[in-house]
Amino acid sequence: MNAGMSGKARLCGVIGDPIEHTMSPAIHNAAFAQMGLDYIYVPFRVKEEELDKAIDGMRALNIRGLNVTIPHKVAIIPLLDELDPLAEKIGAVNTITNDGGVLKGTNTDASGFLHALLERGIEPEEKKVVMLGAGGASRAVSFSLVERGAHLVILNRRLERAEELAGRLSTTLNKEVKARELVADNLAQVLGGADILVNTTSVGMNPNINETPVPSGLLKPGLVVVDIVYNPIRTRLLREAEAVGAKTVDGVDMFVWQGVLAFEIWTGAKAPVELMRVEVVRQLKSHEK
């Protein structure tokens, strides 16, 4: 790891529970080393009931930045000193920055997701987008889509969660968002006229790599299929989408971009995006073995 670390080294990290599978330390430490920055990034397992103590610790130890992951993204909000308008509207924080003792919360998942689409030439503005899932990750993804001007319908197994998220988006962004139950009939209906399909459910994630949230017969060549699951990189959904000639975007890109944006906030330096991407893929491949 960062062999050149000095007494002036700045500390960053990620808090979550569980945390042992996080790839954030790998991408940030590789980026710090590449840029010759005197920083180090550490994973911390923080239990829900100890979140407030962890934040006290961030202050006491003068930790420069923390990423926040499951299950803390919403519960962290009242513990911070400031929230930027984006995080406030989304209602979730994934990045904290300690500016001279003032803890500021933001959300780089939303812009990370949008960056991942735009860098592949996919523009969601005025497009018909179907999003599957209404859990933790769905908040930031749906916000970035609706804010960008997409026409969104959310499908979720538990309809009430889809309705709640759609209601929240309609209120904060003043645009109509539809909610439906995630069942085959509804999928067939909404996918008929859709431009972009985004999976934010955990269906297909390792170890359930033979599962898919969408029957392959509903996929079509003109559709863009985005999966925010990144382990495995090519989910069954993406493999079947590719097989019918649909354009696909995998979850690695969103993961990399949320990290890039956090890195740039903390260090003020431009992040080595390609290196971080290579590092994620390398980690995932080594886990597969």
Residues 29-68 interacting with ligand ATR (rule: CB under 6 A): none
Q: Does 25 bind ligand ATR (CB under 6 A)?
A: no
Least Å from the CB of residue 188 to ligand ATR: 16
Under the criterion CB under 6 A, does residue 137 sit at the interface with ligand ATR? yes
If one asks whether residue 214 binds ligand ATR (CB under 6 A), the answer comes out as no
Cα three-residue angle 29-101-49, rounded to 5 degrees: 75
Smallest distance, ligand ATR to C-beta of residue 10, A: 30
Kindly state the tokens that stand for 262: 């956090």
CB of 87 to ligand ATR, least distance (A): 17
Residue placing its CB nearer to ligand ATR in the complex, 131 or 196: 131
Q: Report how far residue 242's alpha carbon sits from residue 63's, in angstroms, rounded to the nearest whole number.
A: 43
CB of 201 to ligand ATR, least distance (A): 3
Residue 244 CB partners (closer than 8 Å, separation 6+): 216, 219, 220, 221
Residue with tokens 């645009």: 175
Q: Smallest gap, in angstroms, from Cβ of residue 208 to ligand ATR? A: 8
Tally of residues, the chain:
289
The closest alpha carbon to 259, from 88, 12, 52, belongs to: 12
Q: Quick one: which of 26, 73, 10, 9 has its CA closest to 285?
A: 26
Here's the x/- map for ligand ATR, 62-101, by CB under 6 A: it reads as --------x-------------------------------
Q: Is 158 in the site for ligand ATR (CB under 6 A)?
A: yes
Residues of this chain, 224-283, that bind ligand ATR according to CB under 6 A: none
The answer to the question of residue 161 lying near ligand ATR (CB under 6 A) is: yes
Give the burial class of 123: count Cβ atoms within 10 A of its Cβ; 0-12 exposed, 13-18 middle, 19 or more buried.
middle
Among the options 8, 53, 73, 285, which is catalytic?
73
Q: Whose Cβ is closer to ligand ATR: residue 2's or residue 202's?
A: 202
CB within 8 A of 242, min separation 6: which ones? Answer: 234, 248
Q: Which of 76, 117, 134, 237 is the binder for ligand ATR (CB under 6 A)?
A: 134
The two tokens of residue 249 are 């975007």
Q: Which stretch binds ligand ATR (CB under 6 A): 110-118, 157-165, 166-174, 263-271?
A: 157-165
- For ligand ATR, the closer CB: 40 or 218: 218
Q: How far is CA 280 from CA 18, 35, 65, 95, 284, in A?
A: 19, 17, 20, 19, 6
Residues 6+ apart with CB under 8 A from 62: 11, 98, 101
User: Is residue 133 involved in binding ligand ATR (CB under 6 A)?
Assistant: yes
Nearer Cβ to ligand ATR (57/91):
91
Q: 105 with 77: CB under 8 angstroms?
A: yes
The secondary structure of residue 216, as a DSSP letter, is G
127 is annotated as an active-site residue: no
Q: Which of 2, 170, 186, 202 binds ligand ATR (CB under 6 A)?
A: 202
Nearer to ligand ATR, 158 or 282 (CB): 158
What is the C-alpha to C-alpha distance for residues 271 and 261, in angstroms, rounded to an integer? 8
Indicate which residues carry an active-site annotation.
73
The residue ranges that bind ligand ATR (CB under 6 A) are 70, 133-137, 156-158, 161, 182, 201-203
